[in-house]
Chain A
Amino acid sequence: MIDYTKLLPTPLERDPAFYREETVKVAIVGFGKMGILHATIVNLLREDAVKHVVDTNRLIRLGGALLLKKVKFWGKLKDLLNREEVDAAYVTTPTPSHYLVAKEILEAGVKGIFIEKPPTVDAHQASELADLAKHTVDMVGLTRRYSLTFRHAKELLTNLLAKHPVTEVRAYVKYGSAASPAGKLGKVSRGVLLDMGVYLIDLLHWYFGDLHAIKASYKSIHGKADDVFRAELATDKSFPVYIEADWTDPSYRLPEAKIEVAGDGFTLEVSDDSLTLKREGETLELHKPHYYAGFPPVNLAYPEYVIEDMHFLTCLRRGCKPETSLAETVKVMQTVDELYEIARLW
């Protein structure tokens, strides 16, 4: 069993009573899958914390208002911000609208903002928002940073890299969500790299520092956007990093990320589910249940979603910056931009 407490982000209050006793008014902007997910987790942690939902879709507002009597539904964000006081807003609208929605919230002076990943469509927008958010508790939902397998890998790599140079890194993120033709995906020009590859880029930045794009190629299957994206990157220490993002593989029922690090005398494989470290003839193999024994205190989807919301709510209470603030995310988005700039169709 692993002592998970050492891997948790700081600050993070582990006592469920901390959340239950906290008075916080949360607004959810965009009541799609991710909006419902965060709203549910926040309400599980803190009874009736979700007070407002903004959604431009009338059917969602009508259905929501019929069911959720304690929540006020709004068609326009402006109306909510003008008339009510909220402590924090979750931006869970489609990615192309993140920038304008987040800007409006930041300019209204809301204390905390959580923006679902990817924060914006490019680094320029992310950078502008980061400037606006200097005095805000701002967080980007780069969920895998809050996964304890990936956090354990960070801890192990920090120790390993001091003595053992890395020779090569391979990473992928795969899913079958776009395994059939889809109208929605055709409307955005940036596809799987922006939507899912951003997880990998963020983790790789976190593990190895700055990344430089060397070459990149993509395939479009269902629309104009990239459905499969492959790239080679380099770190300051010159070892190659190969990444693949693919949302067309139907054998992946759920999104799955994996990073394999080969180094001098060791290999480390880490995924959403497990971590394997082989070194000097010994193998350390740990699986998800070893990390999440009796934690987190509430459950929905993956535990990392709960941990990220706990981290956000703790930061909100203490008025400090979360680990994945907008400013921290700008360099991730710059790498995404670089990759799109050099990418060629294959």
Chain B
Amino acid sequence: MVKILVGDNPFLGISHLARERGREALRGLTLEKKVEVLKAAADEGASGFTFSTHNANLELLAYMRDNEKDLLKKLECYVLTPYAAEYVRLTDVTGTDRLVKSIVIENLKKNPLKLINAPPYSIINLFIHENLKPYLEILPKQNVKAVLLHEVLSEILIAFKLTKVVKELRSYLTKLGVGFGMETRNIAILNKLLEQSGETIEYAMTPMNPLGYQMGTKEEAEKAIIALSSRGVKVIAMNILASGACTIEESAAYLKQYKKHLYAVAFGTSKPERARSNTRCLNLHLNQQ
């Protein structure tokens, strides 16, 4: 079975097709409306929600805890962290040096002993933990399947071959009882790095669509996905609609070729009827034929 997940981009006003469209979609998108989207997808068999640690999602999850307990219990969660766009914006405002300093000081204040006694890479664990903390307080523990490192950090780790940091994060999250994954748009390079270093991760989330949009060299990415899944990495396909440039039918037909290598596929929408029809179509192509 290929799991079907709902992504959060439209809930945050993100449209990779057109930023203008993303902003428009966000207008009138209330918490109730977001819940309707998740419910509609779940009714058709979607099993999870993949979201970044953005305050709007925290608000949504808190609302669900208070008003939609059954739905929250039903959904597996795949958490992307940190919410990079906010940090990028902060570097524009304060400068990177001040931002780094403030993160270190904040973590020192909150976890002085942990930080002083820990190896240097631990600051990254603490940083990730601080981002996750409010979400872990809301979500039923057994529902948090994976924590995926946001692509901005993943690509840095990949580019500089920081497999020790990968190892550190993996063991830290394993201790918390959560799977560790990386979101990346450079899956072929990630695959090569893991292969060469002997390091592994539990999940890899990467764009997969018929156009090859955000996939780098498409054939290399496809080969890497097959290689990773054959080594036991759970591959989650994202941006399956090429940011809206492909229809769900085109995407489902494309993904079908790789279904035995896919753990899950994720799509985003702000419309309940679209959530229903997309889930139905993906289920039909990936799980019923």
Contact = CB atoms under 8 A, between A and B. Distances in A.
B93 A180 contact: yes
A298 interface: yes
B104 interface: yes
B17 A70 contact: no
Contact of A44 (B12, B88, B158): B158
A127 B191 CA distance: 46
A57 B218 CA distance: 40
A281 interface: no
A274 B18 contact: yes
B216 A296 contact: yes
Given A288-B16, A288-B243, A294 B212 contact: yes
Contact of A67 (B13, B152, B165, B211): B165
Given A59-B104, A66-B120, A177-B89, A287 B217 contact: no
B118 interface: no
B100 A292 contact: no
Contact of B155 (A31, A40, A59, A70): A40
Interface residues of B, number: 54
A293 B17 contact: no
A70 B160 contact: yes
B209 to A, nearest CB: 8
Given A32-B96, A254-B19, A40 B159 contact: yes
A177 B92 contact: yes
B232 interface: no
Interface stretch (A134-142, A181-189, A318-326, A330-338): A181-189
A25 to B, nearest CB: 16
B177 to A, nearest CB: 27
Contacts of B242: 289
Chain A, interface SS category: loop
Contacts of A183: 94
B101 interface: yes
Most chain B CB within a 10 A radius of its CB, from A16, A253, A292, A301? A253
Contacts of B13: 253
Given A177-B89, A185-B93, A298-B216, A40 B156 contact: yes
B37 to A, nearest CB: 20
Interface string B73-98: 00000000000010011011111111
Nearest to B120: A66
Nearest to B243: A289
A290 B210 CA distance: 11
A60 B96 contact: yes
A178 B213 CA distance: 31
A176 B211 CA distance: 31
Interface string B10-53: 00111011111011000000000000000000000000000000
Interface string B200-216: 00000000010111111
Interface string B150-193: 01100110111110010000000000000000000110010000
Nearest to B17: A287
Contacts of A245: none
Contacts of B186: 44, 298-300
A288 B159 contact: no
Nearest to A16: B217
Interface string A273-304: 11000000000000111101111111111000
A60 B97 contact: yes
Contact of B216 (A180, A271, A287, A299): A299
Interface in A70-121: 70-71, 94
B158 A59 contact: no
A288 B243 CA distance: 9
Contact of B212 (A60, A67, A293): A293
Nearest to A287: B17
A246 to B, nearest CB: 14
B89 to A, nearest CB: 5
Nearest to B90: A177
B244 interface: yes
Most chain B CB within a 10 A radius of its CB, from A57, A177, A300? A300
A170 to B, nearest CB: 15
A104 to B, nearest CB: 21
Contacts of B152: 300-301
Contacts of B159: 39-41, 43-44, 300
B215 to A, nearest CB: 7
B71 interface: no
B88 A299 contact: no
B245 interface: yes
Nearest to A256: B19
Nearest to A94: B95
Nearest to B13: A253
Contacts of A60: 96-97, 100
A345 interface: no
Contacts of B213: 288-289, 292-294
Pick the 5 closest A-B CB pairs, nearest first.
A294-B212, A299-B185, A32-B96, A289-B245, A177-B92
Interface of A: 1, 16, 31-33, 36, 39-41, 43-44, 48, 50, 55, 57, 59-60, 63, 66-68, 70-71, 94, 175-178, 180, 182-185, 251-254, 256, 271-274, 287-290, 292-301
Interface of B: 12-14, 16-20, 22-23, 85, 88-89, 91-98, 100-101, 104, 120-121, 123, 151-152, 155-156, 158-162, 165, 185-186, 189, 209, 211-218, 242-246
11 contacts: A50-B160, A59-B101, A176-B89, A178-B92, A273-B17, A289-B209, A289-B243, A290-B211, A296-B216, A299-B186, A300-B186
